[in-house]
A and B are shown apart, each in its own frame.
Chain A
Amino acid sequence: MRKTCTTFLVAAIVAFFPPVFASSAAGQQRAVKRVAPAQSGLALHASDSTVPVQTLLDPMASEWTRIPPQRIATNRTPRLYDTEAPADSEIPYLDVRLARAEGKLILQMVWCDSTQDTAQIAKLPAAPTEGRPHKELTEATDRFFDSAAVMHPQGLPRGGTWPSLQMGDAGDPVTIYFWNSARGTARMQAEGRGTTKRTGQSFPAQATYRDGAWHLAMELDSIPSGMPLAFAIWNGSQQDRDGRKYFTTWLKLE
């Protein structure tokens, strides 16, 4: 894993102690061809890009290395259910890059996860099961898959008030772009915790797992400046799903 993920840590340490780590930092950055992360605060910057959306949808495309990543701290949700096992907090941050291209907002998310929890799951056949001799098989009943999501309010916040991070509020709905490493993407909407619904639509996204990190690119609608975004990550190997996840605060898109 830990090649990329260790690199992130080294880069962070170097940012604090530049004279001490100058030489090793240069070596590390050359090795991974990365731009050092910018301090994001509570704002997110989207770079204008002339690169086609199809190219940016490859999360490993070299174009992404020209945009400085914005590092966002993650938080772990508290235990929500009595039946839940305790979870470790081993994904402390994610790196986000945003590019505006062809009227779309393209998002790249990179985060360290030492376990790649994904699978090839057979699609549910369209033909009815009656008279069809072969049935697709459940291969496991106790595994969960790595996932990620980004959420934004459906309208620009009124009077500077942002909706609840817990899936919006009644009358103040949120849109969620949800990616699951085994099941693909789904657009969802919600008006408060427990109300999340699939819209039936999906969206383009591509992901690569390399060197202990997920690299994910998603094609979002043209989300206007001033809109807050919040991110979430699920680690399948610690049974993350639903509200059992990592989440960030709202970050305003500049």
Chain B
Amino acid sequence: MSRHQYAMVMDLNKCLGCQTCTIACKKLWTDRDGTQHMYWNNVETRPGIGYPRQWDQIGGGWKDGQLQPSKQPGLDDYGAPWEFDYEQRLYEGKKKPVMASPDPVSGPNWDEDVGSLNGDDNFYFYLPRICNHCTNPACLAACPRQAIYKREEDGIVVLDQDRCEGYRYCIAACPYKKIYFNEITGKSEKCIFCYPRLEKGQVNACAAQCPGRLRFVGLLDDPNSAVHKLVHVYKVALPLFPEKGTLPNVFYVPPFNPPKRTNYGRSILEDPRLPLEYLLYLFGPEVKTIIVRLEEELNRAQNGTSSELLQLLIGRDAETRYQIRPQLVQIQSRIGKHS
């Protein structure tokens, strides 16, 4: 058990699907050899196939204390990036339309904005995802090299590149498929929760760049942090697929807003914009209680009562959303801990 635990809460009612977080992460961490398919932070449209394809269907995680088997995602499941053949079109005089090459077969957020139907109405929302820095990480348990460890000082799950031999048991074990294989280095990689930034008192790049201001970052055990309040005091944020048993430390405020255009006077659960079943699939049975709680809070605010919870969720400034505490997190040395 770590002495502290950094956590992130993402309010899915505020995500624009703009991918600014994705690009911030990509430019900072995965613009290197062998990382072209890696998005440590990705934003996918839900309902949808996800990134990598069908990650929520292919296995991993815990069941009755046992790791569960899973397929290894292939490059097509991540979606290889492609280029456009402007040269042919513009300089070589071939009077053909500009084409993508190689022919794309998939990609991150491949089914952008497709969504699904709720009755006759289309619905979708965006799901930003990073490593969940779980309290019971399946990846850590699956690694025979002890290359993955949870930092005692802040609970961030990291992968030691010197110990990794590229066996990829961790990729199979992670039910969120948030570890990636770099074939050029022969080693696996993952989101590091921007710990070098946190150690300098700066928030994660994905959060810092988010125009929707939907991310909250802090120590879950810090009673003054927004993440602590949202998860433990107001109890309005839930982990993704809690039944996978890894105890994630990334939490989501479920999407419930805006209400349907035609449901004036009716509650969100009576006439929802998104079918409740889909939210139950993603977040488990507690999601219903949370939607009721959030709607009550919204009604109170609309009737003129001030709502500390809604003010917190609006999160106008960085001080409200982020409580980075490098002074509380004493950096531990790992030297000599592993043979």
A residues sitting closer than 8 Å to B (CB atoms) are 80-85, 121-122, 124-125, 129, 135-142, 183, 191, 194-197, 239, 241-243
Contact = CB atoms under 8 A, between A and B. Distances in A.
A136 B181 CA distance: 14
B70 A183 contact: no
Contact of B74 (A122, A141, A197): A141
Contacts, number: 96
Contact of A138 (B37, B70, B167, B172): B37
B180 interface: yes
Interface string B23-52: 000000001111111000000000000000
B75 A83 contact: no
A141 B183 contact: yes
A149 B176 CA distance: 34
Interface of B: 31-37, 60, 66-70, 72-75, 78, 80, 142, 144-146, 165-169, 171-173, 180-186, 339
B36 A82 contact: no
Contacts of B186: 121, 183
A136 B144 contact: no
A124 B142 contact: no
Contacts of B35: 135, 138
A141 B159 CA distance: 17
B144 A83 contact: no
B180 A141 contact: yes
A142 B70 CA distance: 12
- Which of B34, B36, B74, B145 has the largest count of A CB atoms less than 10 A from its CB? B34
Contacts of A82: 66-69, 142
Contacts of A138: 34-37, 75, 181-184
Contacts of B142: 81-83
A139 B31 CA distance: 16
A139 B183 contact: yes
Contact of B33 (A81, A124, A194, A197): A124
B146 A194 contact: yes
Nearest to A139: B183
Contacts of B172: 83
A243 B69 contact: no
B232 to A, nearest CB: 32
Given A83-B67, A121-B183, A129-B32, A140 B74 contact: yes
Nearest to B339: A195
6 contacts: A83-B69, A83-B173, A121-B183, A121-B186, A129-B33, A137-B184
A66 B255 CA distance: 75
Contacts of A197: 339
Contact of A142 (B31, B74, B144, B339): B74
B226 to A, nearest CB: 34
B75 A139 contact: yes
